[in-house]
Amino acid sequence: MPIKTNISQREVKGKRYFYLDTNFKDATGKWKKVSLYIGANPPDNTKLKRKKRELENKIKMLEKNAGIINHTKRKNKKLPKILLLFCGGTIAMQRDEKDTLVPAKNAKDLLAIAPEINNIVDIDYEFITNVDSTNMQPKLWSKMALKIYESYNDYDGFVITHGTDTMSYTASALSLALQNLNKPVVLTGSQLPPDDPATDAHQNLINSCRIAAMNLRGVLVLFGTRIIQGNRSKKRSEISLDAFISHLIPDIGKIATIIQIATNAPKKLQNPKKLKLENNFENNVLQITLLPGMNPNFISTIIETGKLKGFILESFGAGNVPTKWNSLIPSIKEAKQCKIPVVVTTQCEGGTSSHMLTYEVGYEAVKAGAIPARDMTAECAAVKLMWALAQTKNIKEIKKIMHHNYSGEITS
């Protein structure tokens, strides 16, 4: 039987958002309101039908698992209050009958792997999505940021379970979407599922809650023994339990027999500015890794579709691009003429494109209109371009945004 729904509007910082609402009777017999985020624009009939199906599936999952969305009663007012956002990943995976890893059913099962968390923090949890992080989308970044913004005054910190493959992208997105963040938002995951004898899921989940309760601010990645600034994180290994490294800046801290926090770690401010939400992203951005001899006509063909809004060139060395045979300079000029910003990063691990003017092959690219990403990670540079394009299509303004430091993502 179809559920009864209605569309509601919520105003957040002067911006209007649309939700699809219905009521759900939980396991205790109490009626609860369940909402599904639609977007910043009113839905057409096709989108409305799709969202109704999604909401019906969400209700079925709630009925089956009795409590994906759960706000617990505060057992101990002295414990820090933490909100866990369930977003899937290996840490939230189980094996099916084919011994294949598939997303687990709910956050309640995830927390069951570490019951001692209840002695460390007073934790609530909410379901955002349950996907392999390879399927992560900008609309989910927007949803996470909005949920944190709406819940900001009710919690001391936030934890997000996430797959490792795109964790650095999500961390970068949240660090930009949540301006003036004065509380910790900690992303964590695992290399091995909870049922593996050698799993890192248990310890990472506990430590992320410990970090979220500390006197820290900003978006962080907690993985293995390392605590890293989120928008400087890069995944370096598919097998190491310390799967992430920090790009060009020291780690925020280290997990040992005690948690060791660096002296320069960002602490909570006594008089912080008001939290600001900027959670829109432009999807039509392409990242291209340069190859020796790559045909520049590929780029021209993509530009001619009229759909591309911006692209990232992952270049050689210090931001160098071909200028002789198969020169990319005409492609950069063509993009600029079409009002498409071109941001140049480097393929070098630990490298930057801050010195593009050093060599002629970099200088010519800048002269043609390329924007150096400087010392941002390739992941953060791509996300920041998507974020900038959601605010303006003016290339000069985009360049200013790309080179402005919002949350420690760029220093030179």
Domain count along the chain:
3
pLDDT at 131 over 90: no
* 371 shares a domain with 353: yes
Backbone dihedral region for residue 31 (phi beyond 0: left; psi -120 to 50: alpha; all else: beta): beta
In this structure, of 64-73, 134-143, 245-254, 357-366, the range with the lowest mean pLDDT score is: 64-73
Query: In this structure, are residues 104 and 64 in contact, taking their beta carbons and an 8 Å threshold?
Result: no
In tens, the pLDDT along 19-28 reads: 788 887 654 4
Among 67-76, 123-132, 332-341, name the one with the lowest average pLDDT.
67-76
Decide which of 81 and 103 is more confident: 81
CA distances 14 to 17, 43, 179, 207, 279, Å, are 10, 20, 15, 36, 13
Residue 197 has pLDDT above 70, yes or no: yes
List residues with catalytic annotation.
Answer: 164
| pLDDT for 99 beyond 90 | no
Residues 317 and 176 occupy one common structural domain: no
Residue 11 covered by a domain:
yes
Q: Are 302 and 215 within one domain?
A: no
Residue 150 lies in a domain: yes
H helical segments located in 116-235: 138-151, 167-177, 201-212
Each residue of 325-366: pLDDT tens digit?
Answer: 999 999 999 999 999 999 999 998 887 877 888 899 999 999
For residue 23, the model assigns a pLDDT of 80
φ/ψ (deg, to 5) at 70: -140, 125
Interatomic CA distance for residues 22 and 8, integer angstroms: 10
Segment 171-199 mean pLDDT = 95
Give a yes or no: residue 192 inside a domain: yes
pLDDT 10s digits, 310-321: 999 999 998 999
Question: CA 71, CA 79: separation in Å to the nearest integer?
Answer: 15
Predicted confidence (pLDDT) at residue 212 exceeds the cutoff of 50: yes
Whole-angstrom CA distances from 379 to 17, 47, 231, 268 are 28, 30, 8, 26
Question: Which domain covers residue 14, as residue numbers?
Answer: 6-64
Q: What is the pLDDT of residue 65?
A: 45
Measured CA to CA, the distance from residue 250 to residue 228 in angstroms comes to 8
DSSP annotation string for 321-354? ---STT-SHHHHHHHHHTT--EEEEESSTT--ST
pLDDT at 67: 38
Based on the fold, state whether residues 379 and 306 are members of the same structural domain. Answer: yes
Lowest-pLDDT range of 94-98, 151-155, 222-226: 94-98
The set of residues, in sequence order, having a beta carbon less than 8 Å from that of 243 and lying 6+ positions away, is: 164, 191, 223, 224, 235, 236, 237
Mean pLDDT over 182-205 rounds to 93
**What percent of the chain shows pLDDT beyond 70?**
91
Please indicate, yes or no, if residue 173 is contained in any of the structural domains.
yes
Does residue 240 sit within a domain? yes
What's the CA gap between 327 and 322, in Å, rounded?
A: 5
Does 74 reside within a domain? Answer: no
Residue that finishes a domain, picked among 229, 257, 277: 277
Could you tell me if 100 and 139 lie in one domain? yes
Domain of residue 177, CATH code? 3.40.50.1170
Does the pLDDT at position 162 exceed 90?
yes
272 and 289 belong to one structural domain? no
Percent pLDDT > 90 in the chain is 67
- Residue 360 and residue 224 share a domain: no
Same domain, residue pair 341 and 198:
no
Q: What residue type is 15 in one-letter code?
A: K
Give φ, ψ of 45 to 5 degrees: -60, -40
pTM of the predicted model over 0.75: yes
Place of tokens 């939700």: 19
Tokens 């949540």 belong to 178
